[in-house]
Amino acid sequence: MSTNLKNENVGLKRRRIKNPDVKHYLIMLVPAFIWLILFQIVPMFGIVIAFQDFNPGAGFLRSEFVGLEHFQYMFELSDSRVALKNTVIIAIGKITGNLLVPLVFALMLNELRQKYLVKMIQTSVYLPYFLSWVILSGIMLQIFSFNGPINKLLEFMGLEPLLFFQNADLFRGFIIGSDVWKGFGFNAIIYLAALAGIDNTLYEAAVMDGAGRWRKLWHVTLPSIRSTIALLAILSLGGILDAGFDQVYNLYNPLVYSTGDIIDTFVYRAGLQGLDFSFGTAVGLLKSVVSFILITSGYWLAKKLLGYRIF
Amino acid sequence: MRSIIIKKASAAALSLALGASLLAGCAGNGDNEKSANNQTANNQTAATTDTKADPFGKQPELTVITRGTWSNPDAKYPDGQSLEDNAYTRKLKSDYNIEIQNAFVASDYPKQVDLAIASGSIPDFLTNLTYSQYRAIVKAGLAMDISEVWEKYASPNVKKVYDSNKELFDSMVKQDGKMYGIPGSKPLVDFLPVMWVRQDWLDKLGLKAPTNLDDLATVAKAFVEQDPDGNGKADTVGLVGPKKDGKLYQDMDDQNFSLHFDPIFSAFNAFPGFWTNGSDGKAVYGSILPETKAALEKLADMYKQGLISKGILTSNTEELTSNNKAGLFFGTWWNPFTEIGNSWRNDNNANWQAYTFAPGSDGIQLAKGGNAASQFAVISKDAKNPEAIIKMLNIKTESLDKFVSKEDRSVLSDYPYPFYLTYSLADGPALILQGAIDYQNGKGTLEEHHANFESYDPGANPIFDKLIAFKKEPYDNTNISAWDFSGDKANDFGLVYSFGEGLRPYVSGKFKWVNTLTYVKTETMDKRWANLKKLEYETFSKIIVGVQPIDTFDSFAEQWKKEGGDKITKEIQSTLGQ
Amino acid sequence: MIENRSLGSKAFDTFNSIFLITLTLLCLLPFWYTLMIAFSEKEAVQAGIVSFYPIGFNLYSFDAILSDFDFFKAFWVSVQRVVLGAAFTMLVLSLAAYPLSRTSKQFPGRNLLMWAFIFCLLFNGGLIPWYITMRNYDLLDSVWGLVLAGGIPIFNMILITNFIKNLPEELEEAAKIDGAGPWRVLFQVLLPLLKPVLATVLLFTMVGHWNEFFQGMVLSTQAENYPLQTYIQQLVASANQANIGNLTLEELERISKLNNESLNAAKIFVAMIPVLLIYPFLQRYFVKGITLGSVKG
Q: Indicate yes or no: CB of B117 within 8 angstroms of CB of A275.
A: yes
Contact assignment for A147 to B311 by CB distance below 8 Å = yes
Mean pLDDT of B497-512: 91
Residue C214 lies in a domain: yes
**What pLDDT is recorded for position B410?**
53
C-chain residues near A128 (CB < 8 A): 27, 30
Distance CA B361, CA C109 (A): 85
Bigger pLDDT: A175 vs B360: A175
Residues A102 and A195 in one domain: yes
What are the φ and ψ backbone dihedral angles of B123, each rounded to 5 degrees?
-65, 180
Read off the pLDDT of residues B549-571 as tens digits, 9 standing for 90 and up: 999 999 999 999 998 899 999 99
Residue C1 lies in a domain: no
* 3-state secondary structure labels for all residues of A205-272: HHHHCCCCHHHHHHHHHHHHHHHHHHHHHHHHHHHCCCCCHHHHHHHCCHHHHHHHCCHHHHHHHHHH
Which domains, and CATH codes, for chain B?
2-186+372-411 (3.40.190.10), 190-369 (3.40.190.10), 428-510 (no CATH)
Q: Are strands B98-106 and B275-277 parallel, antiparallel or unpaired?
A: unpaired
Whether residue A61 is found in the same domain as residue A176: no
Q: Does B472 reach chain C within 8 Å, measured CB to CB?
A: no
Residue A247 belongs to some domain of the structure: yes
pLDDT bracket for residue C209 (50, 70, 90): very high
Mean pLDDT of B86-99: 89
Q: Do both C117 and C258 map to the same domain? A: yes
- C123 located within any domain: yes
- The DSSP code for B370 is P
Instruction: Indicate whether C157 and C246 sit together in one domain.
Output: yes
Q: Confirm or reject contact between C144 and chain A (CB < 8 A).
A: no
Structure confidence at residue C188 (pLDDT)? 85
pLDDT per position as a tens digit, A7-18? 444 444 444 445
Cα separation, A126 vs C280, in Å, equals: 9
In a domain, A110, yes or no: yes
Same domain, A40 and A153: no
CB < 8 Å from C in window 327-346 of B: 337-339, 341-342, 345-346
Of the residues A65, A85, A100, which one is the last residue of a structural domain? A65
User: C12 and C148 share a domain?
Assistant: no
Q: Are residues C25 and C166 in the same domain?
A: no
- Inter-chain CB proximity C92 and A36 less than 8 Å: no
Q: Is residue C228 part of a domain?
A: yes
Contacting subunits of B (3+ beta carbon pairs below 8 A): A, C
pLDDT higher for B120 or B527? B120
The phi, psi pair for B355, rounded to 5°, reads -135, 160
Which one has a higher pLDDT value, B363 or C296? B363
- Residue C63's pLDDT is 87
In this predicted structure, what is the pLDDT of residue A34? Answer: 93
The CATH number that applies at residue C238 is 1.10.3720.10
Give B18's DSSP letter.
T
Rounded to an integer, the average pLDDT of B488-501 is 89
B416 interface with C at CB cutoff 8 Å? no
Rounded Cα distance between B237 and B240, Å, is 7
Is B5 at the interface with chain C, CB within 8 A? yes
Q: Which of B251-255, B401-405, B548-552 has the highest mean pLDDT?
A: B548-552
Looking at the predicted structure, is the pLDDT value of residue B455 above 70?
no
Residue B47 above 70 pLDDT? no
So what's the pLDDT on residue B425? 67
What pLDDT score does B23 carry?
Answer: 27
Test C46 with B319 for CB contact under 8 angstroms: yes
Higher pLDDT, C146 or C68: C146
Give the pLDDT score at B567. Answer: 92
In a domain, C2, yes or no: no
Determine contact: B322 vs chain C, CB below 8 A: yes
To the nearest whole percent, how much of chain A has pLDDT over 90?
Answer: 32
DSSP B237: E
Give the total number of structural domains in chain C.
2
Q: What is the pLDDT of residue C86?
A: 94
**C93 and A CB contact within 8 Å:** yes
Helix and strand counts by DSSP (H, E) for chain B: 25, 15
From chain A, pick out residues whose CB is under 8 angstroms from the CB of B530.
269-270, 273-274, 276
pLDDT value at position A18? 59
Judged by CB atoms closer than 8 Å, whether chains meet at A112 and C211 is answered as no
Phi then psi for residue B274, to 5 deg, are -115, 155
Q: How far apart are CA B379 and CA C228, in angstroms?
A: 34
Gap between the Cα atoms of B347 and B326, Å rounded? 13
Beta bridge partners, B174, equal B179
Both A84 and A228 in one domain: the answer is yes
A166 and A221, same domain (yes or no)? yes
Residue B407: exposure state from Cβ atoms within 10 A (0-12, 13-18, ≥19): exposed
Q: CATH no. for residue A194?
A: 1.10.3720.10
Mean pLDDT of chain B: 83
Dihedral-angle region of residue C259 (phi above 0 means left; psi in -120 to 50 means alpha; beta otherwise): beta
A24 lies in some domain: yes
pLDDT > 70? residue B426? no
Residue B287 clears pLDDT 90, i.e. is over it: yes
My answer on whether A55 and A77 are in the same domain is no
Q: Do C290 and C159 touch, CB atoms closer than 8 A?
A: yes
A206 and A79 co-located in one domain = yes
Residue C188's Cβ-count burial label (10 Å; 0-12, 13-18, 19+) is exposed
The verdict on A77 and A219 lying in the same domain is yes
Asked if C244 lies within 8 A of B493 by C-beta distance, the reply is no
Distance between B71 CA and the closest CA of chain C, angstroms: 7
Q: pLDDT tens across C144-156, in order?
A: 999 998 788 888 8
Give the residue numbers spanning the domain of A229.
69-306
Phi, psi of A40 (to 5 degrees): -120, -45
Classify each residue of C245-257 as buried b or exposed e, where b means 16 or more C-beta atoms within 10 Å of its C-beta.
bbbeeeebeebeb
Give dist(CA A105, CA B126) in Å, integer: 55
Q: CB-based burial of residue B170 (10 Å sphere; 0-12 exposed, 13-18 middle, 19+ buried)?
A: middle
pLDDT for position B3:
36
Residue B545 pLDDT greater than 70, yes or no: yes
Question: In this structure, are residues B116 and C132 in contact, taking their beta carbons and an 8 Å threshold?
Answer: no
Using one digit for the tens of pLDDT, what is the confidence trace for B306-320?
999 988 888 878 888
- Specify whether A44 is located in the same domain as A158: no
Same domain, C14 and C129: no
Same domain, A78 and A173: yes
> Considering only CA atoms, which of A43, A66, A50 is closest in space to residue A276?
A50
Does A196 have pLDDT greater than 90?
Answer: no
Parallel, antiparallel or unpaired: strands B98-106 and B63-70: parallel
Question: DSSP string of C31-76?
Answer: HHHHHHHHHS-HHHHHHT---SS-SS---HHHHHHHT-HHHHHHHH
Question: Strands B194-198, B326-331: parallel, antiparallel or unpaired by DSSP?
Answer: antiparallel
Helix (H, G, I), strand (E, B) or coil at A163: coil
Question: Mean pLDDT: which of B29-43, B97-111, C276-290 is highest?
Answer: B97-111
A109 and A51 within one domain = no
**C36 and C166 share a domain?**
no
Q: Which of the four pLDDT bands, split at 50, 70 and 90, describes residue C181?
A: confident
Q: Inter-chain contact A166–B136, Cβ cutoff 8 Å?
A: no
pLDDT tens digits along C4-24:
567 778 888 889 999 999 999
pLDDT computed for residue B1 by the predictor: 34
Q: Which residue of A has its CA nearest to B546?
A: A167
Task: For C220-289, give the DSSP string.
Answer: -SBGGG--HHHHHHHHHHT---GGGGGS-HHHHHHHHHS-HHHHHHHHHHHHHHHHHHHHHHHHHHHHHH
Are both C106 and C235 inside the same structural domain? Answer: yes
Q: Do B107 and C249 touch (CB under 8 A)?
A: no
Boundary-marking domain end, from A35, A65, A95: A65
Considering only CB atoms, A193 lies closest to which of C33, C128, C291, namely C291
Q: Would you call C33 and A143 a contact, using CB atoms and an 8 Å cutoff?
A: yes
Which of A30, A49, A65 terminates a domain? The answer is: A65
Identify whether the C-beta of residue B276 lies closer than 8 Å to the C-beta of residue B288. no
pTM of the predicted model over 0.90: no
Q: Is residue C104 part of a domain?
A: yes
- Of B373, B329, B451, the residue nearest B179 (C-alpha): B373
Q: Are A284 and C12 a contacting pair at CB < 8 A?
A: no
Can you give the pLDDT at residue B25?
A: 29
Give C240-270 pLDDT, tens digit per residue: 333 333 333 344 444 444 446 788 889 899 9
Q: To the nearest whole angstrom, how far is the Cα of C46 from the nearest Cα of chain B? A: 8
Q: What is the pLDDT of residue C4?
A: 56
Q: How many CB atoms lie within 10 A of CB B26?
A: 24
What is the residue range of C28's domain?
7-47
Q: Work out the minimum CA distance from C78 to partner chain B, whole angstroms.
A: 18
Question: Which pLDDT value is given to residue B414?
Answer: 53
Strands B365-368 and B275-277, by their bridges, are unpaired
Total domains in the fold of chain A: 2
Q: Is residue B49's pLDDT more than 60?
A: no
Same domain as A196, residue A54: no
Mode of pairing for the β-strands spanning B326-331 and B237-239: parallel
Q: Pick from A162-171, B258-267, C49-58 the range whose average pLDDT is largest.
A: B258-267
The answer for B 60-79 residues in CB contact with C (under 8 A) is: 71-76
- Contact with chain A for residue C191, Cβ under 8 A: no
For B66, phi then psi, to 5°, come to -100, 150
Q: Which of B12-26, B290-304, B315-329, C234-248 has the lowest mean pLDDT?
A: B12-26
The count of other CB atoms within 10 Å of the CB of residue B167 is 8
User: Does residue A311 belong to any structural domain of this protein?
Assistant: no
Phi–psi pair at B350, nearest 5 degrees? -60, 115
Residue C253 maps to a domain: yes
Q: Name the percent of chain B lying above pLDDT 70.
A: 86
Q: How far is it, in rounded angstroms, from Cα A257 to Cα B531?
A: 12
Q: Which residues of A156-188 are buried (b: 16+ CB within 10 A; e: fewer)?
A: eeeeebbbbbbbbebbbebbbbbbbbbbbbbbb
Same domain membership, residue C172 and residue C84: yes
Written as one letter, the residue type at C134 is M
With a cut of 50, say whether residue B497 has pLDDT above it.
yes
**In-domain check, residue C135:** yes
- Over residues B102-156, the pLDDT tens digits come to 998 887 788 889 999 998 889 999 988 988 899 889 989 999 999 999 999 998 8
Q: Are strands B511-514 and B365-368 parallel, antiparallel or unpaired?
A: parallel
Range C184-202 average pLDDT: 88
